[in-house]
């Protein structure tokens, strides 16, 4: 019963409750000498802790699973664990370690007898990690693998949507706006608020962020922001989710020339920067610094731009770090 309650809570996006129930189910499995069920419940616990923003605790559990006997005996199981480890490490801003983990996950997914779902999940993680590291060549290589080899009859249309979302993200980052818009449109047509309102909201937030980064501040972008805000009001989300949505709204204000409004949104976000991954904090500091610069507050601007440089460095995002350093050289 504890396993059923855990999975129902996960379905309901009550991740804290799901993690607690998974502990109970894992304890029961251990007492019953059911090692496979124990592993699955510990994995579910880590997955739910990750979704709830409890990343250090999730990492401790998933690394225990990665190095354990059961994972080593099953390439598919080890690949799942490594993929989740990479996602958690990415969330912690430890991008080099995340990249190492997801490389191994992709290799195992290719060699396992699992269905193609695991392979697609691992490729999506590889794309996200490499994109945040600034290694767009590696990210696009993974995108091309998905474009070429993803099963068109993939049973999970929401996973297919995630793949198109990831491909579109990298296209935007490569300044290929046409393909960025095309793949995000494909994702939008598959994502369904009735199937997963939280995921639908996250896609709209992410798509808006990419459009804004490309300088597209049109009505369609605003609709993405509004859909994301509506979803957040209904399903809630982690502290990081809300802070990143605020950054997206501030970016809209910035591109609209509403610098004081952007500053007002970003100031509390940057004060809580320790609550979000280093690369996300860096993006917030960079936007805050530019808004302050446009508002004529040069000293405060430079202080926050320096914080962005430091945070991008911690996240191993050297291309983005170089972008901020170039902005500083050109304007100060």
Band the pLDDT of 112: cuts 50, 70, 90: low
Domain with CATH 1.25.40.10 in the chain: 238-332
Pick the range with the lowest mean pLDDT from 65-74, 111-120, 306-315.
Answer: 111-120
Q: Tell me: domain 238-332, CATH 1.10.10.10, correct?
A: no
**What is the mean predicted confidence (pLDDT) over 59-70?**
96
Query: Quick one: three-class SS letters along the chain?
Result: CHHHHHHHHHHCCCHHHHHHHHHHHHHHHHHCCCHHHHHHHHHHHHHHHHHCCCHHHHHHHHHHHHCCHHHHCCHHHHHHHHHHHHHHHHHCCCHHHHHHHHHHHHHHHHHCCCCHHHHHHHHHHHHHHHHHHCCHHHHHHHHHHHHHHCCCCCCCHHHHHHHHHHHHHHHHHCCCHHHHHHHHHHHHHHCCCCCCHHHHHHHHHHHHHHHHHCCCCCHHHHHHHHHHHHHHHHHCCCHHHHHHHHHHHHHHHHHCCCHHHHHHHHHHHHHCHHHCCHHHHHHHHHHHHHHHHHCCCHHHHHHHHHHHHHHHHHCCCHHHHHHHHHHHHHHC
pLDDT at res. 277: 85
Residue 329 has pLDDT above 80, yes or no: yes
Band of pLDDT at residue 13, cut at 50, 70 and 90: confident
Give the domain 115-206 fold. Answer: 1.25.40
pLDDT attached to residue 113: 58
Mean pLDDT of the chain: 94
Residue 304's pLDDT band (cuts 50, 70, 90): very high
pLDDT at 135: 93
Q: What is the pLDDT of residues 127-145, one digit of tens each?
A: 999 998 889 999 999 999 9
pLDDT at 261: 97
Reported as a single tens digit per residue, the pLDDT across 222-274 is 999 999 999 999 988 788 889 999 999 999 999 999 999 999 999 999 999 99
CATH assignment, 1-89+100-112:
1.25.40
Residue 100 confidence (pLDDT) above 70: yes
pLDDT at residue 35, as a whole number: 94
pLDDT on residue 114: 61
pLDDT for 62 equals 98
């Amino acid at each position: 019963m504890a396993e059923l309650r855990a999975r129902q809570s996960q379905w309901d996006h009550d991740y804290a409750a799901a993690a607690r129930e998974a502990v109970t189910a894992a304890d029961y499995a251990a007492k019953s000498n059911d090692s496979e069920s124990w592993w699955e419940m510990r994995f579910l616990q880590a997955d739910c802790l990750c979704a709830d923003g409890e990343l250090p605790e999730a990492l401790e559990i998933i690394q225990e699973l990665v190095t354990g006997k059961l994972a080593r005996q099953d390439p598919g199981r080890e690949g799942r664990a490594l993929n989740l480890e990479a996602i958690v490490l990415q969330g912690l801003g430890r991008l080099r370690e995340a990249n190492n983990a997801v490389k191994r996950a992709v290799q195992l997914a290719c060699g396992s007898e699992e269905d193609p779902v695991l392979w697609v999940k691992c490729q999506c993680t590889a794309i996200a990690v490499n994109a945040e590291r600034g290694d767009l060549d590696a990210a696009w290589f993974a995108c091309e693998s998905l474009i070429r080899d993803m099963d068109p009859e993939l049973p999970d249309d929401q996973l297919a949507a995630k793949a198109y979302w990831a491909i579109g993200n990298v296209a935007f980052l490569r300044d290929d706006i046409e393909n960025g818009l095309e793949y995000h449109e494909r994702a939008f047509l598959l994502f369904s608020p009735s199937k997963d309102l939280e995921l639908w909201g996250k896609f709209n937030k992410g798509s808006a962020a990419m459009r804004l980064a490309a300088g597209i501040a049109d009505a369609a972008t605003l609709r993405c922001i509004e859909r994301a805000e509506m979803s957040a009001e209904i399903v809630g989300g982690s502290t990081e989710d809300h802070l990143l949505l605020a950054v997206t709204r501030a970016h809209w204000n910035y591109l609209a020339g509403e610098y004081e409004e952007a500053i007002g949104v970003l100031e509390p976000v940057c004060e809580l920067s320790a609550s979000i991954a280093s690369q996300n904090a860096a993006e917030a500091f960079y936007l805050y610094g530019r808004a302050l610069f446009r508002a004529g507050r040069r000293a405060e601007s430079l202080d926050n731009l320096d914080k962005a440089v430091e945070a991008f460095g911690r996240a191993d995002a050297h291309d983005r770090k170089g972008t901020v350093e170039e902005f500083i050289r050109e304007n100060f």
